Structure 1
Amino acid sequence: MFIKICGLSTEKDVQAAISAGADALGFVFASSPRKISPDRALSLCKNIGDHIIRVAVMRHPTPDEWGEVKTVFAPDWLQTDHEDFKSLNLGDCKSLPVFRTGHVSELKELPRPMLFEGMNSGAGEKANWEEAALAAASTQLVLAGGLTAENVEIAIKSVSPWGVDVSSGVEVAHGTKDPSKIREFITQVRATE
């Protein structure tokens, strides 16, 4: 199962995610207590291997905002709301379009992969798992929103996602990651596979 740890802002966070077995690291460039600069993200990734996916997490970026992140940080994937991709030049970057509870039925064909979460990113709000399960049956769905080590097993069994994404569920305070919670979350996901 694909695992993304999102909202990383320190070297300790990055190392904890990598050593615990994360597949992808998310760096936030949208308004948030987790927001960092493209230069900071580049610095945090200087010693990670090519097997780790570096994800730029944005929300409604302008072409100029995306251009700066793309040029300075050069992420592997861009994660932003699905409608944002219409105005952005991705170049070699892959897309991870975000859909929120109540919006999956808008499309006839779902993108692969896609991220499904609650209405407010990074707020610890649980997504609608029934709606997520319907989408997961026809695409590579990454489930986000309110996941923790305590509920990720039931989330995986309920939704059958391709992957999971966590941010606030591995924090001790808003924007402050806890390496032990990161390890516990990933251990629980791997045990549920």
Structure 2
Amino acid sequence: MFNRHASTPVMREMLADPSPRTRVMLTGMFLERDIAAVNAAHPDLCGFTVNLSYSRRNVERDRLAALVRELDPAIPAVGLFFDQPLGMVAELADTVLDLVELGGSEDNSYISLMRNLVDVPICQRIRLDGPAAVERANQSAADIVLLKGSWYLLNRRDLALIRQVRRPFILSGGLTPNNLARTVQMIRPWGVDLDTGIEHNGFKSAEKIAAAVEAAGGSPVARAGDETH
């Protein structure tokens, strides 16, 4: 298995960047054409669902390595895991990934052990469905949290909960290129995560991938180019 980590410093710089710009993570990639579309649109992050057998977007470790090999080195690769063995996650973090996302019941003890094994940052996915979830987000030992919900609805209950989160967060759940700009304007998250919202008939759509990046403010590469003119 090849060793990537070209984008880990980019990932750390992104996490430390205090600018209010909303970053875009596109997840659930599992085909070569998905990677080609991501490379063309150039979002901030590209995610993969790893070793989740019942998911149609699942990629096993060898498949993950092959897809990440095709990914633009300037785009950090994110691996999403659900209650996987610590050793397996650490191995992939050491060789393939720039950010580990934990989406199961992993607690702060698991995260602490992970920190002793890997150098890449850690994200914890939390369904924000009540006060206990808010507390879990605020107390998480991860570098950043991803808040799962129906953010496109922008209902008062969800907005009241999210205002109690006292740290940078990524929004995930129900986001599409059509509702993304409004959601970003209302909530101003550190980042947004899109998966099914960039699909057509169960597969990633290159047009929707490009539209999502544009709706959130455009590609970071394109913005950098504009600043030089």
Q: Same fold (TM over 0.5)?
A: yes
Instruction: Provide the residue aligned with 2:74 in structure 1.
Output: 51
Residues in 1 aligned to 2:67 and 2:208: alpha-carbon distance in whole angstroms: 20
Choose the corresponding residue for 2:171, options 143, 146, 151: 143
Match of 2:38 among 17, 36, 39: 17
Q: In structure 2, what is the equivalent of residue 178 of structure 1?
A: 205
Tell me by how many angstroms 1:50 deviates: 3.2
1:17: Cα distance to partner? 1.4
**SS of 1:15's equivalent?**
helix
CA contact (8 A) 2:28 2:47 kept: yes
1:154 matched to which residue of 2?
Answer: 182
Does structure 2 conserve the Cα–Cα contact (< 8 Å) formed by 1:149 and 1:185? yes
| Bigger proportion of residues as helix | 2
- What is the CA distance between 1:173 and its match in structure 2? 2.6
Give identity over the alignment, percent. Answer: 22
| Cross-structure match for 1:33 | 56
Q: 1:171 to 1:49 in 2, by over 3 A?
A: closer
CA positional deviation for 1:168: 0.4
Query: Alpha carbons of 1:60 and 1:184: their partners in 2 closer, same or farther (altered >3 Å)?
Result: same
Quote the Cα distance in structure 2 between the aligned partners of 1:17 and 1:133.
Answer: 31
Question: Which of 34-43 and 86-95 deviates more?
Answer: 86-95
* Deviation sequence 1:152-180 (CA, Å, 0-9, x none): 11211221101111000001133x11111
- CA gap of 1:141–1:107, structure 2 versus 1, over 3 A, is closer
Separation of aligned partners in 2, 1:142 and 1:17: 19
What is aligned with 1:106? 136
Q: 1:141 to 1:67 in 2, by over 3 A?
A: closer
Of 70, 75, 80, 2:102 maps to: 80
Corresponding position of 2:191? 163
* Deviation (angstroms), 1:114: 1.3
Do residues 92 (structure 1) and 115 (structure 2) align?
Answer: no
TM-score, length basis structure 2? 0.70
**What letter matches 1:183 in structure 2?**
A
Matched, 1:117 2:145: no
Tell me, yes or no, if the aligned pair for 2:152 and 2:179 is still in contact at 8 Å: no
Unpaired stretches in structure 1, ≥5 consecutive residues: none
Contact 1:24 1:54 in 2 (8 A): yes
User: Structure 1 45/134 Cα, relative in aligned 2: closer, same or farther at 3 Å?
Assistant: same
For these two proteins, the number of residue pairs brought into alignment is 183
Q: Which runs of 5+ in 2 are unaligned?
A: 1-21, 219-229
| CA distance in structure 2 between the partners assigned to 1:129 and 1:33 by the alignment | 31
Cα distance in 1 between the residues matched to 2:38 and 2:199: 13
- Aligned counterparts of 1:125 and 1:80: Cα–Cα separation in 2: 23
Change (3 A) 1:70 1:126: farther
1:188 aligns with 2:225: no
Distance 1:107-1:188 versus aligned 2 partners, 3 A rule? closer
